[in-house]
Structure 1
Amino acid sequence: MRSRIGHRAPFVLADKNESEEALASLNGVEPEPWAAAWSRLGARWEEKARAEEKSGDPQKIKQAYLKAYTYYGIGRHPFPSSPGKMEAYRKTREMYLAAARFFDPPLERVAIPFEGKAVVGYLRLPAKRPAPLILHWGGIDGWKEERHSFAEAFLRDGWGCFVMDGPGTGECPMLASPEAHKVYSAALDYFCARPEVDAGRIAVVGSSFGGYWATKVAHVDRERVRAAVNWGGGIHYFFQPEWQEKSRNAPSYLFDLIEARANLFGKRTFEELVRAMPALSLKDQGWLDKPCAPMLLVNGKEDKQVPIEDFYLLLESGEPKAARFFPGGHMGNTPETFPTILKWLRGKLE
């Protein structure tokens, strides 16, 4: 856990000394003490941010709110499984949007009507318009607020970015199910109609479990998607009970992996999870040999959370696809990984 501080989610923006303070107060990872320890740091930075508001320095205000968002976000990790974690999640959203007042380009909170509810996400667009757009989402624990650094990178390339929560996470109006890709179709409907967006240059990037949804969208909405990236998501073998058993204690995941996966389906136990999972198989749904949008597949060769065989299955099925597998574990996190994705996207969007 300590090795992640300042480097990997959910600790990317966390300070080492402050994190040690929180960890020293903990005897384990039980939900309420975990939420309380990190929320104390969040509240401290929230107080600093509100004090900075009086200074009028937008950078100092923004950075203080981002620190507060970081610690509250760690407090709800990997998902809001208790009242304290739910409150931490509420504060995560509040602090992120407080910081977002000072983003350049600005952030627009978008609520897309969907079956009596809403698909909620954060849109940022470059000055040059109509702009290409990246629809981006994470996995079981990396929700839309935590996609901030990736949105910043997409914007530096001159692309707009809309970050949203995947099914069963955050503010998404659907749980995971074979029909839950409809939330992404609704987002495509909306953005294809916005004049600031170049509807002919929309790409989707799904990280971790989100790579599954990127793959589904690449097939279901292939005519509206210029490019799709599956960065670490299983598509068939991952959903089988055998793999869930094999991966349930994957050392690359901090804690509560099975609980976080089950939460996507509104379930709580391993037994409930393995009954719900198989229905998501894209092989069994009959999609793999159908046409799809251009795809890039990325992962680590030693992934203990998602079987590499799922990526070989994609490569052996349907349309030819690009792939890059990196050393290491889940998502193949190396200094070259995300730049490789950006380079491939440039080739498709420019």
Structure 2
Amino acid sequence: MEMGRVDAAETVATEDPWDASARGFYRRWWQAVPDRDELVEAVRTLGGTTQDVWVPHWRAVADRHEARAVQAEEEGDLALARVEFLATKTYLSIARFPDAITPEKGEVSRDCVRAYLRACAHLEPPLQVVEISYGEWTMTAHLRVPAAGTAVPAVLVMCGSDVFKEDRGWVQEQCVGRGLAALVMDAPGTGENPVPWSPDSVGAWEAAVDFLAGRPDVDANRIAAFGISRGGYSVMQLAGTAPEKLAAVVAVAGSPVGRLPEGEKLERHLATVNERSAWFFGAPGDGPFAEPLTLEELTARHSAWSLAELGLLDRITQPLLMINGSEDDHSPISNIYTVLEHGPLAGKEARIYAGAGHCAPEHAGEWIPQAFDWLATKLGADSRPGAGE
């Protein structure tokens, strides 16, 4: 088999916008889609991915939900209004994919933020829109803190490359329900985080931890981090960069950590990374979602970001939980084994789901609550029923 010529259909997780399965393109929003039959039907009738087709298609679905949300709000049914505004947000998030790469997608992104904030208008504890400074930049983030009468543990929720803070509200729900504060922030270079993405941008995440530690309602000695995919990588990068600032971390499908896979696994990894180059989400005539990489380019990028190359693996000393599927060709599970080979003898745990792909989304009903139970235990949170109310 020629290097890089693995058929995309052979990979477990796909970037095919017409794949509406849990392992497919829409896995990014799987936890937020209220009616998966509706999603499947919308995908079935999708006519293309360039923004002249993609944006109006998904806006139409979002508009139906927003009309229901406005009606429910007018009738005083705030619970239903929240559900429908969240659905509005989710379909607008799909419409803006992968980011505000054109003026039209920038408008969609602003509407997505607006719908999400409207969905959160009546939350308890309330959603706070906060600003965090880092160098010359100002980052916008979302904070919720349980009303406890004392300083509480907190979790920094670190978003990935194309799923933003509006898509991680469910993580805040998991946290506050266990007596944990939660700060959700876009990754550098995405959403409302203008910090350019580079290995040095880990400093933006440090600034977010410092922001939490400086609040009187947060216990500075009990701050954890949680991330998925690129966010999972960022969690471990931060843990190794500033181990004294984090008490525990959960990393789902994070990479690159150590060495690249070899042989057929390397071929599959390159093919999976390059699958994104097959799809076009900008204006007609714009380039692909991501430019294809040669093996040499992939190796160079891996070396620039690898936690091993950055000298961080032995510095990850706090409790760490790693989660992924055994057949993840995007973030191969060799990354997990590499982490287990470094640092202290005890304190690292892993769950690998046999046969599952990137982030093991089909098992999220199990690993999501268990991961946050794990965090609550490590942070000594009051996770009794009602503790986060």
Same fold by TM-score greater than 0.5: yes
Native 8 Å contact 2:85 2:118 kept in 1: yes
Partner in structure 2 of residue 323 of structure 1: 350
Residue 247 (structure 1) aligned with residue 274 (structure 2) = no
Higher alpha-carbon deviation: 203-212 or 50-59: 50-59
Q: Count the aligned residue pairs.
A: 342
Native 8 Å contact 2:156 2:225 kept in 1: yes
Q: How does 1:190-339 map to 2 (within 5 A)?
A: 190-237=211-258, 246-250=268-272, 269-271=291-293, 274=298, 275-290=300-315, 292-320=317-345, 321-327=348-354, 328-333=356-361, 334=363, 335-339=365-369
Matched residue SS, 1:304: coil
**Given the superposition, is the C-alpha separation of residues 33 and 185 from structure 1 closer, same or farther in structure 2, using an over 3 Å criterion?**
same
List alignment gaps of at least 5 residues for structure 1: 261-266
Partner in structure 2 of residue 2 of structure 1: 20
Higher alpha-carbon deviation: 210-219 or 166-175: 166-175
The whole-number CA distance in structure 2 between the counterparts of 1:168 and 1:134 is 21
Native 8 Å contact 2:50 2:280 kept in 1: no
The whole-number CA distance in structure 2 between the counterparts of 1:97 and 1:256 is 33
Q: CA deviation at 1:174?
A: 1.8
**Given the superposition, is the C-alpha separation of residues 54 and 247 from structure 1 closer, same or farther in structure 2, using an over 3 Å criterion?**
same
Residue identity matched to 1:296:
L
The whole-number CA distance in structure 2 between the counterparts of 1:248 and 1:93 is 34
**Given the superposition, is the C-alpha separation of residues 342 and 18 from structure 1 closer, same or farther in structure 2, using an over 3 Å criterion?**
closer
Native 8 Å contact 1:230 1:295 kept in 2: yes
Q: CA deviation at 1:145?
A: 0.8
Native 8 Å contact 1:248 1:257 kept in 2: no
Q: CA deviation at 1:25?
A: 4.1
Q: How does 1:110-149 map to 2 (within 5 A)?
A: 110-128=130-148, 129-149=150-170
Residue identity matched to 2:29:
P
The whole-number CA distance in structure 2 between the counterparts of 1:171 and 1:292 is 31
**Given the superposition, is the C-alpha separation of residues 69 and 286 from structure 1 closer, same or farther in structure 2, using an over 3 Å criterion?**
same
Native 8 Å contact 2:261 2:334 kept in 1: no
The whole-number CA distance in structure 2 between the counterparts of 1:88 and 1:244 is 37
Residue identity matched to 1:345:
L
Give the TM-score taking structure 1 as reference length. 0.87
Percent identity over the alignment is 32
List alignment gaps of at least 5 residues for structure 2: 1-18, 282-288, 381-389
Give the aligned CA root-mean-square deviation in angstroms.
3.0
The whole-number CA distance in structure 2 between the counterparts of 1:308 and 1:249 is 16
Residue identity matched to 2:56:
A
Residue identity matched to 1:287:
L
Partner in structure 1 of residue 385 of structure 2: none
* Per-residue CA distance 1:203-245 (angstroms, 9 max, x = gap): 0011111111110111122112110111110133577999886
Partner in structure 1 of residue 202 of structure 2: 181
Q: CA deviation at 1:346?
A: 2.6
The whole-number CA distance in structure 1 between the counterparts of 2:36 and 2:100 is 24
Q: How does 1:54-203 map to 2 (within 5 A)?
A: 54-128=74-148, 129-203=150-224
Q: Which has the higher contact order (CA 8 A, sep 6+)?
A: 2
**Given the superposition, is the C-alpha separation of residues 43 and 238 from structure 1 closer, same or farther in structure 2, using an over 3 Å criterion?**
farther
Q: CA deviation at 1:271?
A: 4.3
The whole-number CA distance in structure 2 between the counterparts of 1:218 and 1:8 is 26
Higher alpha-carbon deviation: 8-17 or 318-327: 8-17
Q: CA deviation at 1:255?
A: 5.3
The equivalent position to 1:19 in structure 2, one of 17, 39, 43, is 39
Residue identity matched to 2:292:
F
Partner in structure 2 of residue 263 of structure 1: none
The whole-number CA distance in structure 2 between the counterparts of 1:138 and 1:50 is 29
* Per-residue CA distance 1:64-109 (angstroms, 9 max, x = gap): 2112111111112333444433322221111001111121211001
Higher alpha-carbon deviation: 268-277 or 71-80: 268-277
The whole-number CA distance in structure 2 between the counterparts of 1:32 and 1:241 is 41
